[in-house]
Structure 1
Amino acid sequence: MRWWREIPPATGSAVMATGIVSVGLHLTGPEPLSLALLACGAALWLLLAAAFALTFLRDRETWTVRAATPPALTAVAATCVLGTRFSLSDRQGLAFTLLALAVLVWPGLLGSVLRHWRRHLPGAVFLVCVSTQALAVHSATLALTGQGGWLPWPALGCFLLGLVLYGAALVRFDLRQVLTGAGDQWVAAGALSISALAAAKLASWQGWTGPLHDALRAATAFLLCLALAWYLVLLAAEMRRPRLRFDVRRWATVFPLGMTAVAALTAAAVTGWTWLHGLGTVLLWIAAAAWALTAAGFLVSRLPRARSAADGH
């Protein structure tokens, strides 16, 4: 039984989507629902981690091929999103462990993806930015709890590197994917949203003073505005050319929806734009509805396979 071969790396975006919606619900209040999604995301992460490890140990050729593609970086981003959520629940030991795991696998996966880059790539290309900014958000979140006072400095480095990687990804992104993509085109917006969240988290740390703090506040506002602009463009494209059939890459739509909501909620206090909290709340419930629809689509898509397996048995 080699079930792990059937799980594509893009499935990691399901953990990212589930984790970030859980974070948003934690920020806005429905804690039981947030914890339920956290449990769901953690269970799926364990399954994917087992598949990742088994493929590495037993099918190195397949692992190497997959590690060269941008979706492989969902392993880093998903781990950091869950770690951030655990940190918000005051599980700092577990959050530090997940950060260590993410830091361990990030350089190798990022290097492998960058070595195999080409032109006219789908939206998953922006995962080079998302995974790097996820490390910044995770580290800054831990620092804001009073743990690891040294973490804001490497977090700042990851934030700046993430911005560079976003620019590099943008020139390789096939803009036709805005109208034709199967879901991961939304990562173009999600990468800016997580960059805005990283800036907001860093700006919230009391260790910065003077120009650096002001620059991070300005970066938060600027990046969030860019993310919202992308959000509107992608939404208009979806309305012009609906893509209703389920695809695993639709989880890569839910993640940016949730990340934009969380970025707006967090940026409200940093920028002083209180209206962002209301906007973030609305966007969060849109993301939660998208999560529910995507989960339903996944379950429906699995029914034919389940029936075939039963008939074969």
Structure 2
Amino acid sequence: MPGPSHASRATHHPSHRASHRAPRSPLGAWWAQRPPAAGAAVMATGIVSVGLHLTGYETLSRIALALAGVAWVGLAADFAVRLLWERARWVAEAETPGALTAVAATTVLGTRLSLLGWQSLAEALLALSALLWPVLIVLVMGHWKRRMPGAVFLACVATQGLAVLGATLAAAESTAWLAHTALVLFWLGLVLYGLALARFDLRQVTTGAGDHWVAGGAMAISALAGAKLIAADSARLYLWNVDDRGVLRAVTVALLALDLAWYAVLLVAEVVRPRLRYDVRRWATVFPMGMTSAATLSVAAALDVPWLRTPGQVLLWMAVAAWLAVAAGAVGAARTGVRTLRSTAPR
């Protein structure tokens, strides 16, 4: 996540001097300070919407989808403004792991829209995320270091997000090449998980500010991708032979088991070392919780394991409770931030 030094360097860029001539409202000034990791709020809200849809709570799901959509539009507009007129700041932020939330959030939103039947819009979001992914993945991984926070796993999450959306669209539109591309991304995502794990600082499990949960969330979205690939197969497409399907089933089950193990470890760590103060990175806690629920429910359907639905539903309501708590913290932090900026603004 970029610190104040990034922002201060950006203000010396010629493209910024013009923008500083136009005074900003306190709300606009507060929004301008938003870090790239704020994209996790869209990821969290979008996956909660998916989980609510999978359990039949369609009205609540659509409310969450609307919130995610509005937030995505705001963040996308800000992304474009920084790219066009605040290039130095955009580059500085694009080199941080949190930048990959732009890809992940877009794919999560696209997946929910596809489930709603809006395939054209979902395809547009897939195309957009596919264009962003190679640029951001190269910039981010080129600046990896040792002992990184949980955001390092966003390389896996963004890649598996493409696999999930690709497999979802392949099933909706009976498109074999899209499913096969999603399969390649699925395996690549697992490789990236291994690389990220080697850079992850395990001490973050007890000291992290929220994004340490992405270590488990990356497993969860990988399991979801596996379930979507299995579900995309049909007599019409015949994507996988018996051996391929067997490998996919085994890997998907293993990924879900590893995800649930991570979930248990991270939950125990939260009880042992409570971190109750709000931090924007707490959205990166809600996302893995919601993703674990969605993965469990999707694996239950794709592999015909009905008993998994009950734990999937329990995990969903835990994610909803976490979403409400973090949303309350975000509103409080926003009010405080706007109030502070208003009191310090020149009159």
Shift of 1:309: 4.3
Shift of 1:306: 2.9
Residue in structure 1 matched with residue 259 of structure 2 by the alignment: 227
Deviations 1:66-88 (A, max 9, x none): 11111100000000000000000
Q: Which has the larger radius of gyration?
A: 2
Residue in structure 1 matched with residue 54 of structure 2 by the alignment: 27
Shift of 1:6: 1.1
**Separation of aligned partners in 2, 1:194 and 1:209:** 24
Residue in structure 2 matched with residue 203 of structure 1 by the alignment: 230
Residue in structure 2 matched with residue 151 of structure 1 by the alignment: 178
Deviations 1:198-257 (A, max 9, x none): 011111122212110111111110000000000000000000000000000000000000
**Separation of aligned partners in 1, 2:245 and 2:125:** 28
**Is residue 130 of structure 1 aligned with residue 157 of structure 2?**
yes
Task: Name the aligned partner's letter for residue 209 of structure 2.
Answer: A
Residue in structure 2 matched with residue 187 of structure 1 by the alignment: 214
Q: Structure 2 matches for 1:4-83, cutoff 5 A?
A: 5-83=32-110
Which segment is superposed worse, 139-148 or 151-160?
139-148
Shift of 1:146: 2.3
Residue in structure 2 matched with residue 276 of structure 1 by the alignment: 308
Q: Structure 2 matches for 1:243-262, cutoff 5 A?
A: 243-262=275-294
Which segment is superposed worse, 14-23 or 56-65?
56-65
Deviations 1:15-42 (A, max 9, x none): 0000000000001011111001100000
Shift of 1:269: 2.4
Shift of 1:193: 0.4
> How many residue pairs were aligned?
313
1:286 counterpart (305, 315, 318): 318
**Separation of aligned partners in 1, 2:33 and 2:339:** 17
**Separation of aligned partners in 2, 1:244 and 1:110:** 32
Shift of 1:147: 4.6
**Is residue 120 of structure 1 aligned with residue 147 of structure 2?**
yes
Deviations 1:248-305 (A, max 9, x none): 0000000000000000001012333322111100000000110011000001112222
Task: Name the aligned partner's letter for residue 42 of structure 1.
Answer: G
Task: Name the aligned partner's letter for residue 295 of structure 1.
Answer: A
C-alpha RMSD of matched pairs (Å): 1.2
**Separation of aligned partners in 2, 1:8 and 1:248:** 9
Contact 1:143 1:151 (8 Å CA) reproduced = yes
Contact 1:7 1:51 (8 Å CA) reproduced = no
**Separation of aligned partners in 2, 1:251 and 1:275:** 29
What is the TM-score of this pair, normalised by structure 2? 0.88
Structure 2: tracts of 5 or more residues without a match = 1-23
**Separation of aligned partners in 2, 1:68 and 1:5:** 18
